Amino acid sequence: MKILTADDERPALNILNRAIKEALPDAELRSFTYASLAVNEIRQNGYHPDVAFLDIEMPGLSGLELAAELKINHSGVNIIFVTGFSQYVMDALALRPSGYVMKPVTKEKVLAELQNLRNPPARTVPEKPVRIQCFGNFCVFVQGEPLKVGRSRALEMLAFLVDRRGAFCRTERIAEALWEDGLYDRSRQQQISLFRRELLRALEEAGASDILCVTRDSLAVRPENFDCDYYAALAGDMAAMNAFLGEYMAPYTWARYTESELAEKFRRS
């Protein structure tokens, strides 16, 4: 998400930028201490932010005038006014902003506005062939079709690897997750090997084997090779965050820890 910030007071601008980066770590942030510089960037370089956090009272060109300039050049921009003076509310509302934040700015205030944008930005990253759904039931889709895996434990193995977000997992660690009794005898080793072979075969037949990195005794997912609602939510994607309704990878019991972490994270948000 491309975000513009403008405030003539450098300490206030730093506080605003820090709050935005805490709320949305992957945001592409561009900051200005003079509204006139922002206007030059918009007019001369065609800069079109998705969201603009603007201090209202600035010397020379005001935040209200900068907002009007933004709307002329990019009607879909989300304007969020930032000020310490409530008397500007009516003037700001005349420009139909997406939101209004009173100083001091905090991560929580920023998140509240980003989750309720008037014009949510469209996804700009092309969709990948593999899409993995973690919120609710765990599902894997390749080119829009469900991945066909014969044994449920083989699919659960993939779910556990997705939960680990790219970290390599040894087979005994995967077995600990799939069976709560902690037993890893010869029979379990054989079962894990069977599930591993079946998962790799299913991915290869679907043309999706590139989502896994495989060694002799370990497995890991390659997060860059698939779309995932869980990963998107952690990166600050508002649509993905709003898709979390309290359930994560049901009904896997080992997923309850991540589920509670997500619930707490989004509750604070």
Within this chain, do residues 26 and 53 fall inside the same structural domain, yes or no?
yes
Range of the domain at 104: 2-114
256 Cβ contact partners less than 8 Å away, ≥ 6 residues apart = none
Query: Do 136 and 90 lie in a common domain?
Result: no
pLDDT at 136 (0 to 100): 94
DSSP label at 177? H
Is the domain of 19 the same as that of 57?
Answer: yes
Q: Considering the domain boundaries, does residue 55 fall inside one?
A: yes
The pLDDT of residue 135 is 96
Query: 10-residue block means of pLDDT along the chain (269 residues)?
Result: 94 94 88 94 91 91 91 89 70 69 88 82 72 96 94 97 97 92 90 96 97 95 96 84 90 95 79
Cα distance between residue 3 and residue 29, in whole Å = 5
- Residue 60 inside a domain? The answer is yes
Q: Are strands 169-170 and 218-221 parallel, antiparallel or unpaired?
A: antiparallel
In a domain, 125, yes or no: no
In sequence order, the 6+-apart residues with CB closer than 8 A to the CB of 88 are 56, 57, 64, 81
Give a yes or no: residue 121 inside a domain. Answer: no
- 110 shares its domain with 138: no
- Which structure tokens are listed for 225? 């090779």
Radius of gyration of the chain (CA): 23
Residues 61 and 101 in one domain: yes
Do 182 and 246 belong to one domain? yes
Q: Give the number of domains in the chain.
A: 2
Among residues 88, 114, 140, which one ends one of the domains? 114
Please report, for the domain that includes residue 259, its CATH number. Answer: 1.10.10.10
**CATH number of residue 35's parent domain:** 3.40.50.2300
User: 97 with 167, same domain?
Assistant: no
What is the model's pLDDT at position 122? 63
Query: Cα angle at 154 between 149 and 160, to 5 degrees?
Result: 125
